[in-house]
Amino acid sequence: MVRRVLVVGGSKGAGALIAQRLAGSGYTVRVLARDPVAAVARLGRDIEIVEGDLTRAETLPRAVEGVDDIVFTAGVPSGRYAPESLVRATDYQGALDTMAAARAAGMHGRFVYLNSIGVTVPSLSATLLNLLKGNALVWRRRLEDNIRAGGLDYAIIRVGFLIDSPGGKRAIRVTQQALPLAPWRWIARADVAEIFAEAVENSSASRATFDIVWGSGKRSGTAAELLAGLKADR
C-alpha cells in the first residue's frame, strides 16, 4: 500500500522540497497550507493541499485524517524578529497539537521533525537566534522532549543553516554528537529533502535524534547508507 505522508511546512522552503521528493518517490503527499492557492501554484496538482494553520488547532484533524506519517518542518520565519508568543504558538504548541490530532486519528507511522542544530549546546549563534526569534531554540528543545515521550514513532533531525543550492554534491555529515549552532555549519535544502524522504521509513531512523550538516569533500553514499549507523535514543 502506498503510504500517505502529511508535510506540515510543505508550502515552501525545505518542506516543499521534501513534499516534492516524497511525491516523486511514489508516496501520496498532502501539505498543510495557510494559503492553498499559493501552495497549489508552487507544488502543482499531484500534491494534495489541505487548508490549515498551526495556531488554529481546530484546523488540524482534517489535515491528519488518514495519513500514515507526518513530516513537520514548519516554523516562524528565520532571520527576522519574532515575538516569543508567536514562536511558542507555532513552533511548540502547533507541533504538540499536530501530534495530538495524529494520535486521536489513530496514526501508527512516524513523526519526522525538522529541528535546528544547537538546541542542546550553548553558543553565541544560539544566544543571538534566541534573542531575535522568541527563544525559538528553547521551545524547540522542549518540543523534542515531548516528541520522545509522546508515544508516536519519530525521527528528530537537526539541520545546520539552510541554503538553496543543488543537492548531491557535498558530503553530508550525519552525527549523534550534538553540534553547536555556527555560521559555517550549513547544508542545502535539497540534501535535507533527500535525508528526510529516506527517514520516513528507514528503520535506523526510528526513535533517533541526529544532526546533519555539510561535511568536507564530495558526496558519497546513498541516504540509506548515511543513516545506517544511527542508534535509537535512550
- Per CB under 6 A, residues contacting ligand NAP are 9, 11-15, 32, 34-35, 53-55, 73-75, 77-78, 90, 94, 114, 116, 159, 161-162, 189
Q: Which is nearer to ligand NAP, 44 or 77 (CB)?
A: 77
Distance, CA of 91 to chain centre: 11
Q: Which is nearer to ligand NAP, 48 or 53 (CB)?
A: 53
Question: Residue with CB nearest ligand NAP?
Answer: 13
> Closest separation between CB of residue 9 and ligand NAP, Å?
4
Q: Which is nearer to ligand NAP, 161 or 210 (CB)?
A: 161
All residues at 6 or more sequence positions from 144 whose CB lies less than 8 Å from its CB, including other chains:
113, 115, 119, 156, 209
> Closest separation between CB of residue 224 and ligand NAP, Å?
23
> Closest separation between CB of residue 234 and ligand NAP, Å?
25
CA contacts within 13 A on the Cβ side of 103: 12
> Closest separation between CB of residue 61 and ligand NAP, Å?
15
The CA distance from 208 to 218, in Å, is 25
Whether the CA torsion 101, 103, 106, 108 is positive or negative: it is positive
> Closest separation between CB of residue 98 and ligand NAP, Å?
9
> Closest separation between CB of residue 2 and ligand NAP, Å?
24
Q: Which is nearer to ligand NAP, 131 or 232 (CB)?
A: 131
Q: Which is nearer to ligand NAP, 181 or 230 (CB)?
A: 181
Q: Which is nearer to ligand NAP, 159 or 200 (CB)?
A: 159
Interhelix angle 13-24/189-199, nearest 10 degrees:
50
